[in-house]
Amino acid sequence: MNRIYIARHGETIWNVEGRIQGRSDPELSPRGIEQSLALLELLKDRPLLAIYTSTLKRSILTAQPLSHYFGLPLRQRPELDEMAFGILEGKRVLCLDDGMREEWERFKRQRFTYRLPQGENYTDVIYRVQPFIEEILRNHRDQEILIVGHRVVNLMLLALLLRYPLEEISKVQQENGGLYLVEKDGEVRVYHHHDGRMVEGLLIGRDIRVL
């Protein structure tokens, strides 16, 4: 059985400020550092054999406590870098001018087909991460591994692993420091961390959806 933990990076200073991040590379906030240590507490008793991150520091810094604890190198993969948000990166969502607001709203309506100027869309991310998923399923059979990724990247990883309807995947929730577990053998199951334990199902708003 493959057991794949998928964590979102800890909170950054741009998360606090409400800025769009994408490929930009802000530092973790103090709360984000605490979330990285909380992730270590959650997983320190698991037999992890590999830790994958993006090449962005918020992913790397979130995974570092686990890397040090287990003595495992961080396998940095550009395929796991967050979706590029192009001209909107660094902008505060609540302070966009009319032109950029129009771009943002159009993207939210057409996440899989519309590319923000100088950016990507969800379909680009799927094509980017699909070979990575195939690789880890092949190379880590019957192992437990951790991926520390980003909001959009993690959604696409979950969609591919769970064969989840793409038109629904953007409704799935994962807060900074949040953790999912996908178990894959003949069947696929998914769990999320809640109140100190792993609970079966995906978080959809305030609801839990069990596959």
Q: Are 88 and 100 spatial neighbours (Cβ–Cβ below 8 Å)?
A: yes
Rounded to whole angstroms, how far apart are CA atoms 172 and 184?
19
Is 105 labeled as catalytic in the residue annotation?
no
Is 121 labeled as catalytic in the residue annotation?
no
Q: Are 152 and 169 spatial neighbours (Cβ–Cβ below 8 Å)?
A: no
Is 58 labeled as catalytic in the residue annotation?
yes
**Of the listed 15, 121, 154, 176, which one is catalytic?**
15
Is 139 labeled as catalytic in the residue annotation?
no
**Of the listed 3, 19, 23, 58, which one is catalytic?**
58
Is 82 labeled as catalytic in the residue annotation?
yes
Give CA torsion, residues 156, 161, 167, 169, to 10 deg.
-60
Rounded to whole angstroms, how far apart are CA atoms 83 and 121?
7
Rounded to whole angstroms, how far apart are CA atoms 41 and 39?
5
**Of the listed 128, 150, 151, 193, which one is catalytic?**
150
**Of the listed 3, 19, 79, 82, which one is catalytic?**
82
**Of the listed 2, 3, 8, 154, which one is catalytic?**
8
Is 192 labeled as catalytic in the residue annotation?
no
**Of the listed 2, 3, 9, 23, which one is catalytic?**
9
Nearest to 189 by CA among 166, 153, 163: 163
54's CB contacts (< 8 A; 6+ apart) are: 60, 76, 77, 78, 80, 81, 82, 148, 149, 150, 153
28: DSSP letter: B
Q: How many CA atoms lie within 13 A of 99 on its CB side?
A: 3
Which are the catalytic amino acids? 8-9, 15, 58, 82, 150
